[in-house]
Amino acid sequence: MRHAGTMTSAPRTARAIARAELTRAILDAASRQLVEIGPAALSVRAVARELGMASSAVYRYFPSRDALLTALLVEAYDELGTAVEGADAAVTDRGDLAARWRAVCHAIHDWARAQPHRYALLYGSPVPGYAAPDDTVTPATRVTGAILAILHEAQTAGLDPVPPLPLSSAERAGLAPVRGFVDPPFDDDTLARGLLAWSALFGTISLELFGHMHRGVLDYDAHFAQVVDQLTADLGLITDG
Amino acid sequence: MRHAGTMTSAPRTARAIARAELTRAILDAASRQLVEIGPAALSVRAVARELGMASSAVYRYFPSRDALLTALLVEAYDELGTAVEGADAAVTDRGDLAARWRAVCHAIHDWARAQPHRYALLYGSPVPGYAAPDDTVTPATRVTGAILAILHEAQTAGLDPVPPLPLSSAERAGLAPVRGFVDPPFDDDTLARGLLAWSALFGTISLELFGHMHRGVLDYDAHFAQVVDQLTADLGLITDG
DNA sequence: TGTACATCAGTGAACGCGCGTTCACTGATGTAC
DNA sequence: TGTACATCAGTGAACGCGCGTTCACTGATGTAC
């Protein structure tokens, strides 16, 4: 029994081609819906209407509204992951960790700015009544993975972040999972500055996109660049200087 | 023509008392709805149902669903503002800016943890199709106001943050609005470290509450305390030591 | 290459439910004299 | 203190609309021989 729907290899039959195409069209239409009415109000019927098909037909492609939402989440995480990994990989001098870190940060920011509603889907309020299944975990990991890889290389290369406060013992114990994401494990200083940079990075983007800088900051791009540069310095990624 | 609904002074007539009480009950029921179905799906009919009244009766109190949502926003901002200002004011040594900053940060965190859905209403994804009217601006200002006041006192007291990178000219120009929130205006260093702390503060809370630390950090309270301590140090709020 | 059968995509009606908002109306509360 | 009128709260029906999901069905595509 071969299953047809993995989409990893090129489809052969006309049916498979049509299916792949319509699956895409449904996801695109759903994505457009996200912009106007948000994930909570995402509607199978509206998607079908936009595509000019019966609402029941959508159920040939996604078994439920929540499955459609999950597919949107997975796709958004994957797109962002691809953008981030691509930006990282585009830095030819692999040892220039400051450049890689900046590239990753700006890739996230650029993607978020271009797709604010999908950013909100990933990093904004959780959708009430919807629990993301395990399928979303792996794609969600890619962004943090890219960040952690850079921090880990910095540690291995002996780059020291601006010395943070010593970790409390509760904090040290509580960070066991992150510490073990890499081998050899993160030291305290990298961990502390790394987590702070992570918070500041997504905090800046969220505050910007969700409208909280509106009355205080005029030039979002300049501000973001400044934040990233500062984090680069605090993480000690600038060699020599 | 006296208007009855300002709610600033105690109501006199039985009608006014009943009105104030039902207004509260409606807001409370709406607030409870927020937890289960989120702001986008907030429903006048469901609120009325919970209170055992006709849905049309709610319109005697709030002219529309959006007005009800606005009232929830204003109330949430005000509650958070009160909590933050109260925490600040509870620090008896007004010159101990580190203690005041810590108190403010933990007040925000505590409130957000106790009321995650209302935090999400304020700092999560914007509600699609809803534009917050000007009524929400003033209450929204209280939290940032408390933070800015502390930073401003620190600057006046001559406390120096950990030296940030020099601001680019674009960034310097773009920060004109925040700079002028206080008099004398903020200097570059306080501004840079202050905005970074602001981002890290809300970034940490949002990442925690929206589920992104789930796989990496075990002890949220220890982590938040560590972040706040680090920000306190980076802001240079610790005198002597 | 041709036929017979199985699989699949898409339809349209239906079920049972929800929503925001308006409106004419009843009955209670408040106020002016 | 009592009466007459105005104001207001709350009702229930209605308008016009939306939703997710199921189901029996048709017609096209794919496959085994």
**Mind listing the pLDDT tens digit for each residue in A27-45?**
999 999 999 899 999 999 9
Is A155's pLDDT higher than 60? yes
Is A1's pLDDT higher than 90? no
Contacts of B226 in chain A (CB under 8 A): 165, 167-168, 171, 192
**Mind listing the pLDDT tens digit for each residue in A109-148?**
999 999 999 999 999 999 988 999 999 999 999 999 999 9
Q: What is the DSSP string of B44-86?
A: HHHHHHHHTS-HHHHTTT-SSHHHHHHHHHHHHHHHHHHHHHH
pLDDT at B11: 60
Average model confidence (pLDDT) across chain B: 94
CA(B56)–C1'(C21) in Å? Answer: 8
State mean pLDDT over A140-164: 97
CB contact under 8 A, B38 and A37: no
CA(A203)–C1'(D32) in Å? Answer: 60
State mean pLDDT over A74-102: 98
CB contact under 8 A, B170 and A217: no
**Mind listing the pLDDT tens digit for each residue in A212-223?**
999 999 999 999
**Mind listing the pLDDT tens digit for each residue in A91-102?**
999 999 999 999
Helices (H), B90-136: 97-114, 116-123
Contacts of B37 in chain A (CB under 8 A): 40, 128-129
The proportion of chain A whose per-residue pLDDT surpasses 70, expressed as a percent, equals: 95
Asked whether residue A19's C-beta has any atom of DNA/RNA strand D within 7 A, the reply is no
Within residues 13-42 of protein chain A, the ones with CB less than 7 A from nucleic strand C are: 15, 18-19, 22
Asked whether residue B25's C-beta has any atom of DNA/RNA strand D within 7 A, the reply is no
The predicted model scores a pTM of 0.95
Is A241's pLDDT higher than 90? no
CB contact under 8 A, A174 and B207: no
Angle at A64 between CA A63 and CA A70, to 5 degrees: 100
pLDDT at B197: 98
**pLDDT one digit per residue (tens) for chain B, 241 residues:** 333 333 445 667 889 999 999 999 999 999 999 998 999 999 999 999 999 999 999 999 999 999 999 999 999 999 999 999 999 999 999 999 999 999 999 999 999 999 999 999 999 999 988 999 999 999 999 999 999 999 999 999 999 999 999 999 999 999 999 999 999 999 999 999 999 999 999 999 999 999 999 999 999 999 999 999 999 999 999 876 4
**Mind listing the pLDDT tens digit for each residue in A170-181?**
999 999 999 999
- Cα–Cα dist B9/A179, whole Å: 56
Give Cβ neighbours of residue B114 (< 8 Å, ≥ 6 apart): none
pLDDT at A126: 95
For residue A180, give the DSSP letter: T
Average model confidence (pLDDT) across chain A: 94
